[in-house]
Amino acid sequence: MGEQLQGLDIATLLVVHQMVALISTVVILAGAIHAKGRFGLWFWFGSFATTAFFQLLRDNGPTSESPGTAVLMGQYGVLLNATFIALAVKSYLGKPLRWHLISAITLCTAVSLWLLSRFVPESALSLALTLAVAAALTAVALSDLLQAYRRERGFALGFGTFLIALLLGRLFLRGLIAITSADDGTALAVNSTALLIFIAALVMQGFAILMLVNDDLQKKMLALAEYDELTGLLNRRGMANRFKRLLDRARRDGAPQINLAIIDMDHFKTINDRFGHAAGDQVLIELAKRLQTLVRPNDLCVRLGGEEFAVFWTGVPADMAAAMAERIRLAISIRPFQTREGLLRCTISIGLCQMKPVESLDDFIDRADQALYVAKEGGRNKVVVLPA
């Protein structure tokens, strides 16, 4: 096995590594331009670009004839690559970049490396500093991705987390190479193996970025499919998916009481016929906004369709749910709606019931609809509670 490792042509592997880095840089640049920098692609581009540029500068540029300068260029490449990866992960996850702090750390480290190259040549201290800072920045990215993975799961996040862990391991491997470089034969074998790992890591990094972007796009498409375009509230599909989580959380927290209020705008057809659909849409949008301010963050607010809405409350008894429904009815009736046709005074009818221990979502909604029908038949602008 050792002879096979020593037989690897390092010069060829370096060229392969450069070509993979350059191709990946061009591909990510094209993606960043097309996506207008979303998904942290500008930072991912920066990580590939620094890898390609500094390796090219170190091995083929004017610095290649100066060992000390070539080493410094290699250390700058490692440092900037880790910096861009930390920023890319934060940008992708939507976290605060803290780029002032990260940039300050990178700049101070770069200046320190330059000073060490000038006054303490051939010192292991510069290598240790480079690897320590790069490892710290990569560890920040790993921590961010690990938190996201624990919260959301998914193969793409899992693979991205694994990749960042692999990049962190690659930094430790570079330290191992430096330690074992005293033995030329061993150094050749380790360097050959390391270059293979670095090439594989570059390819995997490209795949990880592709999967993360695809996963994010799928989540956005799913969100669009689950939300009502006009009001921004959950639609029926989104309601079904979220209700399962709501029910699981209620049972887990020991608060299984779930109350459902079906809310219907009174005489909405008359509003459309008299003032036009544009005014009707404004009323629906405003009603949705008011409902969101009148419910708790953990409750569900849904547009079922047309002028019909639903609110799910958890952890409250039936009498309290009735009081909350009455508060909504009163808040809607006493404040007119601003539309392009002027102020319109509107009212709502509400049907309310509490979920039975063993009941499907469809049956639950049907019972609340029965209560709403009674409210409509009883003169509208009222809350009717269906007995358990």
Q: Which CATH architecture has domain 236-385?
A: 2-Layer Sandwich (3.30)
CA pair distance 312, 155, nearest whole angstrom: 32
Which residue in 170, 148, 174 sits closest to 159, CA to CA? Answer: 148
Indicate which residue of 152, 226, 229, 307 is catalytic: 307
> Do the beta carbons of residue 268 and residue 306 sit within 8 Å?
yes
Q: What pLDDT score was predicted for residue 63?
A: 53
The domain 2-223 having CATH identifier 1.20.1070: the answer here is yes
Which amino acid does the sequence have at 37?
A: G
Tens place of pLDDT for every residue, the chain, 388 residues?
444 444 456 777 777 878 888 888 898 889 889 888 788 899 999 988 888 888 777 666 555 556 667 778 888 888 999 999 999 999 988 888 888 999 999 999 999 988 888 887 666 788 888 889 999 999 999 999 999 888 888 888 888 899 899 888 888 877 776 666 544 444 444 566 767 777 888 888 888 888 888 888 877 777 778 888 899 899 998 898 888 888 887 777 766 788 999 999 999 999 999 999 999 999 999 999 999 999 888 889 999 999 999 999 988 888 999 999 999 999 999 999 988 888 999 999 999 999 988 888 999 999 999 999 999 999 999 999 988 6
Considering only CA atoms, which of 19, 72, 69 is closest in space to residue 48? Answer: 19
pLDDT at position 189 is: 47
What's the CA gap between 378 and 284, in Å, rounded?
23
The sign one gets for the Cα dihedral 180, 186, 191, 196 is: negative
Cα(355)–Cα(318) distance, rounded to whole angstroms? 10
State residue 4's pLDDT score. Answer: 46
Delimiting residues of CATH 3.30.70.270 domain(s) in the chain: 236-385
Q: Can you tell me the distance from the alpha carbon of 158 to that of 69, in angstroms, rounded to the nearest whole number?
A: 38
pTM: 0.62
Helix, strand, coil content of the chain in percent (nearest 5): 70, 10, 20
Check if 359 is active-site. no
The residue with tokens 């209560």 is 371
Residues 282 and 222 sit within 8 Å (Cβ to Cβ): no
- CATH 1.20.1070 residue spans of the chain: 2-223
Q: Which residue has the tokens 């190479």?
A: 177
Could you tell me the two tokens for 135? 């490892």
Q: Amino acid letter at 265? A: M
Residues 6+ apart with CB under 8 A from 372: 262, 264, 349, 350, 351, 384
Residue with tokens 């490892």: 135
